[in-house]
Structure 1
């Protein structure tokens, strides 16, 4: 993936500062920008692997959109910051390598919170509940995970979808790809016969092409969270949590959610 920054302008709030509970010191005092330890002053620099619709997408005008990135833009507005999106590889992001290197302030890339990832990452409060799923051609003869023996199945490297396939797709030939941008064309070209990954992403493909269908969904009790380098930017993580709660309380979160998921 290339690493190109794109700036989004975040409107200045009417209030000069945002009071966030649970910040450093345990009182209701607002967090000053300097205390957030931003990579670039005045800007929220966020790493994400694009594309991964409907969570991360290019908007056709040189910028980015999607559920995660719209939510990031709303958080930045609450914190009176601009946003710079860095397009990075997911494997380096989920392993903590990218964040430890100081490339960005945090990662927003449909990342499931897991105990394994918590050894290298800190997470903000969960912001999305997800399922895994199996996508195939409608005429494939595949009706579920039990039909995958001996078949090539696309999985994204370093993801919980890959883990689920390793544990449950008995006899399948798992083919690793960097992301959905490579898996979807591979399925269309017949290089693989199925994709096992997050349900919302597979649903986007069904919407785009009726020759494909989701034949099974798997409840894995997954929740997505924004990822931070372990032990770093604690004030920023708490500020993000406070902004997320404000968005939920005001109904703005629901508006962003319905934009992408109301048809599901």
Structure 2
């Protein structure tokens, strides 16, 4: 309960003081409030020029331009972003959110998938862990409310490891680097990018990943279906004209 209250308070505070100016567009009128995470590289992060960038950021910009709608992107963090959309302080969420039935059952309304991602276990660079069996009796770090947490929880009883929950990815990574947890579980493209760009002393063991599932843009109020429809139409258009692939190549190649 304490976490929920904190998330709501954080969302309210950040939404009253936007970190990003609403993007100009051909359409006048409503400015859609879109929540996102703070650090989920390469999908959203602050670069060396102190500019908020990433796949999600660029995809949203391209889709909004294609569909002619204005938006205000709010970097709130995962929990606060979800809470903001749930209580109507934001209209939609784009934050590498995996499309899964449990979220749909709880009221999430997803767009078409815009990126298919697997989840993987990650260990310290000098670790000898190479299989799920090697995790027996150890602790695995996860990020709250993510597909990585679900993947780890689905295996913990079978392979005899414990799970500890964190609110953000960087803190989770540090827990493994410091040796407090034997592994963490994160979306594969996120982990690969962070190991490479931040030179983290971590590695991805082969064969310790999920089958994968798509990310989706989400609303939680059916009244915002107009926004969801525009996202889907714009996504289809930028896939057709090559902008979508250009954005992926910019961050993943």
- Specify the TM-score bucket, using the shorter chain as the normaliser: 0.7 to 0.9
In structure 2, the residue matched to 1:50 is: 38
Q: Verify: 1:108 aligned to 2:121, yes or no.
A: no
Shift of 1:79: 2.9
- SS in structure 1 at match of 2:189: helix
Choose 65-74 or 54-63, whichever is displaced more. 54-63
Q: Secondary structure at the match of 2:222?
A: coil
Counterpart of 1:74 in structure 2 is 62
Point out where structure 2 has 5 or more consecutive residues left out of the alignment: 1-6
Matched, 1:59 2:50: no
- Map of 2:147 onto structure 1: 160
Bigger helix share: 2
TM-score normalised by length of structure 1: 0.81
1:218 counterpart SS class: coil
Residue number in structure 1 paired with 2:241: 250
Q: CA RMSD in A?
A: 2.2
Rg larger for: 1
Tell me the TM-score normalized by structure 2.
Answer: 0.84
Aligned counterparts, 1:106-185, within 5 A? 106-119=92-105, 120-169=107-156, 170-185=159-174
Say if 2:212 is the partner of 1:221: yes
Residue 86 (structure 1) aligned to one of 74, 81, 88 = 74
For residues 35 and 246 of structure 2, the distance between their equivalents in structure 1, rounded to whole angstroms, comes to 23
Range with bigger deviation, 251-260 or 224-233? 224-233
8 Å CA contact 1:113–1:223 kept in 2: the answer is yes
Alignment: residue pair count: 235
Q: In the aligned structure 1, how far is the partner of 2:165 from the partner of 2:81?
A: 17
**Cα distance per residue 1:93-128 (max 9 Å; x no partner):** 45xx42131221210010001111112110111100
Distance 1:8 1:254, change over 3 A: farther
- What's the offset of the Cα at 1:144? 2.1
Partner Cα distance (2:78, 2:22) in 1: 25
Kindly state the Cα deviation for residue 249 of structure 1 after the two structures are TM-superposed: 0.6
Q: Distance in 2 between matches of 1:151 and 1:89?
A: 28
Q: Is the 8 A contact 1:151 1:172 kept in 2?
A: yes
* 1:77 alignment partner, SS class: helix
Bigger strand fraction: 1
In structure 1, runs of 5+ residues without a counterpart are: 18-32, 35-40
- What CA distance in whole angstroms lies between the structure 2 residues aligned with 1:180 and 1:206? 12
Q: CA deviation at 1:243?
A: 0.6
